[in-house]
Structure 1
Amino acid sequence: MIEVTGLSKRYGDKRAVDNLTFTVRPGLVTGFLGPNGAGKSTTLRMIVGLDRPTSGSARVCGRPYHELPTPLHTVGALLEAKAVHDGRTAREHLRGLAASHHIPRQRVDEVLAMVGLTAAARKRVGGFSLGMGQRLGIAAALLGDPEILILDEPVNGLDPEGIQWVREFMRGMADDGRTVLVSSHLMSEMQDTADHLIVIGRGRLAADSSMADFLARSSHNGTVVRTPHAPQLVPLLQREGGTAESLPGDASPDGALLVRGVDARRIGELAGQHGLWLYELAPQRVSLQEAFMELTADAVEYRVTHSGKAA
């Protein structure tokens, strides 16, 4: 388990992380999301002891990271895949890490096989592609067979096979009762992988909820209704506590509506009871990207204007 309590970090006048409190529980894949500059990397670095908080605390398995007797056996972290000596081979790099924690040498070959780098074990890291570097970083995180896995952009540079492997691996770790915290900008991948979400913006907590609840709260959810009887249907929906508005971006003449607050089944029942024709009745499910952008619209630090210049 990871417990973050009142965590803050200042760099001069800039508050990178502002009083964050959340818990990452075992048995779940927890997605850690936020716009660029939101404070995600700083938070992860404080969790694993690379940065010191200005105030507050971060604990893993009940302790600050620096108090763990054998950190690699408790926390496996991939924060910067390129933080490797270019002149070393993949096997040499992992053997050095293993020796620091008295991890048997055979474990090195096990994790190389797990991430698909057996054939590249004797190659120098400086010649690795971006995807190979990511695989090596994941291998290093797995060396100690840790209880907690922290991954920052783990699928960066991976091919489709590699992305699927990472997804299945994280799922397997969580199903095994371990704690998995993963930060990524790939919203479609997070939607397919994460059970729970922690979202921050400008260093502050914006959401801490299950994936299902996060998506359900979005105002983009609703049901698309296409009918020639919109004037008759709308008052019926309003009596049910629903709202109906013209479908954004739709210019067709046949009364396309986006209905919220009344589910598709009830809409169909109301139309049938009153003899109203429906040409389309389609629940509209929001994507994680849409829900995320809606929530963090006011927390984007770097925005592109219509002129194409960064603001």
Structure 2
Amino acid sequence: MIEARGLTKRYGATAAVDDLSFTIRPGMVTGFLGPNGAGKTTTMRMILGLDYPTAGMVTVNGKPYAKLASPMREVGALLDARAVHGGRSARNHLLCLARTNHISRRRVDAVLDLVGLANVAGKRSRGFSLGMSQRLGIAAALLGDPEILIFDEPVNGLDPEGIVWIRTLMRSLAAEGRTVFVSSHLISEMENTADHLIVVGRGRLLADSGMAEFIAGSSGQVVLARTPQPDALGRALNAAGATTSTGEPGIVQVRGLTEDVVADIAFANGIRLNHLAPARVSLEQAFMELTADSVDYHGQSPVDTQPAHNGSEA
């Protein structure tokens, strides 16, 4: 279990992490989400004792990381896949870690096989692709067979097969009762992986909830109505304050009204409904809505960058 209480990290006048409190529990995959600069990596570094908090504290199984008797056997972490001596082979990199932590050579071979690097174990890591480096970093995190695992952007550089593999691995580790804490910018992948979410913005906690609860709490809920009179339904719903749009023929997407209200308006206007149901809101939609005010850098829409048309041609 990982517990943060009032965790704060300041760099001068800037608060990278601001009074952050949460608990990461065993038996589930907890996703750590936030825009760039939200404080995710800084938080993970403080968990691992690599950065010291300005205020507050964070503990691993009730102790600061620095006071764990055998850290690698209790916590495995991947923060930077490229943080490997490029002149060492994959096997020798892991052997160095194993020998300094009283871990057997047999375990080194086991994790190399687990992450799919057994066939390249003798190759120097400087020639590895980013995906292979990620696998080596994951092998190092698993080396001590720890109960707690922390992964920062573990799917970077992985191909589709690798993404499915790491997703399955993380979920299987959680199913064994381990604590799995993972950050990622691939929101759609996190939706398939995480059971629980910690969402931060500008260093502050924005959400701490289960995946389904987080998505259900989005105000962007959409109702889908199928009708042979889409234009009439759209006009009636717009008059009631809804925002509507059409997708497939006969389908009206409705925002701002519940299913019951849509049904009542259709009935009052003599409009036949063939189907009425809530549309599924994605994690990405809910995340973008929640963090809209926490994004530091906004790109322009391609539409916004088009030159104004003045009616003349070159």
> Considering the TM-score relative to the shorter chain, is it more than 0.5?
yes
SS in 2 for 1:205: strand
Question: In the alignment, is residue 256 of structure 1 matched against residue 252 of structure 2?
Answer: yes
Question: In the alignment, is residue 30 of structure 1 matched against residue 33 of structure 2?
Answer: no
Matches within 5 A, 1:38-49: 38-49=38-49
Letter of the 2:175 partner, please give it: D
* Equivalent-residue separation in structure 2 for 1:271 and 1:37 (angstroms): 46
Match of residue 55 from structure 1: 55
Match of residue 146 from structure 1: 146
Match of residue 312 from structure 2: none
Normalising by structure 2, what TM-score? 0.88
* Equivalent-residue separation in structure 2 for 1:218 and 1:59 (angstroms): 31
RMSD, aligned CA:
2.7
CA contact (8 A) 1:7 1:19 kept: yes
For 2:298, which of 289, 303, 306 is the aligned residue? 303
Letter of the 1:129 partner, please give it: S
For 2:233, which of 230, 233, 244 is the aligned residue? 230
Match of residue 68 from structure 1: 68
CA contact (8 A) 2:8 2:16 kept: yes
Compared CA separation, residues 66 and 231, structure 1 to 2 (3 A) = closer
The Cα shift of 1:267 comes to 5.9
CA contact (8 A) 2:33 2:185 kept: yes
Structure 2 regions of 5+ residues with no counterpart?
Answer: 306-314
The Cα shift of 1:262 comes to 3.4
| Residue identity (%) | 58
Letter of the 1:262 partner, please give it: T
Structure 1 regions of 5+ residues with no counterpart?
Answer: none
Matches within 5 A, 1:95-174: 95-174=95-174
Q: May I ask how many residue pairs the two structures share in their alignment?
A: 300
* Equivalent-residue separation in structure 1 for 2:241 and 2:215 (angstroms): 20
Match of residue 287 from structure 1: 282
* Equivalent-residue separation in structure 1 for 2:164 and 2:252 (angstroms): 38
SS in 1 for 2:170: helix
Letter of the 2:284 partner, please give it: Q
* Equivalent-residue separation in structure 1 for 2:111 and 2:244 (angstroms): 51
Compared CA separation, residues 26 and 148, structure 1 to 2 (3 A) = same
Match of residue 211 from structure 1: 211
* Equivalent-residue separation in structure 2 for 1:5 and 1:81 (angstroms): 28
CA contact (8 A) 1:153 1:184 kept: yes
The Cα shift of 1:26 comes to 0.5
The Cα shift of 1:305 comes to 3.4
The Cα shift of 1:230 comes to 3.0
Letter of the 1:89 partner, please give it: S
CA contact (8 A) 1:246 1:256 kept: no
Match of residue 90 from structure 1: 90
The Cα shift of 1:159 comes to 1.1
* Equivalent-residue separation in structure 2 for 1:139 and 1:256 (angstroms): 49
